[in-house]
Amino acid sequence: MSLKPIRLVPDNTRMPFVKIHKIGMAFTLIVTIIALGALFTRGLNFGVDFTGGMIVELRLEQDANLPQLRSEFAKAGFDNITLQEFGAPTDLLIRLPQDQSPTDPKEQSALIEKLTSVTGENTEKRRVEFVGPQVGDELVTNSAIALGLAILGIMSYVWFRFERPYAIGAVLTLLHDCISVLGLFALTGLEFNLASVAAVLMILGYSVNDTVVIYDYIREYRRKFKKMSWEDLIDISLNQTLSRTVMTGLTTLLALGALAMFGGDVIRGFTVAILAGVIIGTYSSLFVSAPFLLYMKPDDHSKIKTAAE
């Protein structure tokens, strides 16, 4: 069904992707260097999930005034705690670092009493969770393994589905997306927790989906037009998928934009990561994964079999 009044990308576009691909590659290299620099110099702001500590959820008698509460908690000796609104305006989520999180139940009770003395007598204690340092270290290791296995699995699938040059291009694209998103966390100081790991894995899935669609077009056109130059082949394939790429990205961004605006601070890192990841993944599909084939030029018209075959 054609919806011409809301068509964002006209039919038969002729965008010169190959002509400007070196600019895109240079921009990609700059972004990657900045992201790696931020990761090595600033590092990630690991949340309680990874560093260990205590999470306390309280319900206040009145709406939480975060700037005022931060000042009052600082006066009470809590300098490194993190405060977030959670759910209703009266709900407050407190994250305490490992050095301020006692393991003894009596000491925890005394700590919570000290916290509620700042927030008011009628404060309701709703939830208390403690994450030990060993659990945090284990989660860091497991998260790194999950990311590594995801990239390895995607590379294996693309290698089996297409050919080695495509697999290398897909992995380079995924590494670019992953490094860019992690660099965003390092630059902005957003808390990196288990939800952030889920966001990165989701971004990898979104990006590889875009990449595989484009690769499929390139491979099919390569079979049909064996004498066509790789420059023309990639340009035609990217223009044929441009409408799908733009519409998919836009609809995803609209849904994520609503989450970012109304989801609250608790999932802010998750939604911001995915928002950035969708933009980065769309860009990398057009300017990283496809132009990479210009330098590899796989002869898959003679080596790759179709699914039907």
Write out pLDDT tens, residues 91-108.
888 887 776 667 677 777
Please state the φ and ψ torsions of residue 191, each to the nearest 5 degrees: -65, 130
Domain with residue 127: its CATH number is: 3.30.70.3400
Q: What CA–CA distance (Å, rounded) separates 275 from 252? A: 8
Range of the domain at 259: 10-46+135-303
Cα–Cα dist 246/258, whole Å: 19
Please tell me the distance from the alpha carbon of residue 122 to that of residue 87, in angstroms, as a whole number: 18
**What string of DSSP letters covers 40-78?**
HHT--EE-HHHH-EEEEEEE-SS---HHHHHHHHHHTT-
Q: Are residues 158 and 264 in the same domain?
A: yes
Q: What is the DSSP letter of 214?
A: H
pLDDT in tens, 11-64: 677 777 888 888 888 888 999 999 999 999 988 887 777 777 778 888 888 888
**Is residue 226 included in any domain, yes or no?**
yes
Contact 154, 174 (CB under 8 A): yes
Domain stops at, among 114, 131, 148: 131
Is residue 251 located within the same domain as residue 295? yes
The CATH number of the domain holding residue 155 is 1.20.1640.10
* Total domains present in the chain: 2
pLDDT tens per residue across span 254-305: 888 888 777 666 677 788 888 888 888 888 888 888 888 887 766 544 343 4
Shared-domain flag, residues 57 and 188: no
Q: Do 218 and 153 reside in the same domain of the chain?
A: yes
Query: What is the pTM assigned to this prediction?
Result: 0.72
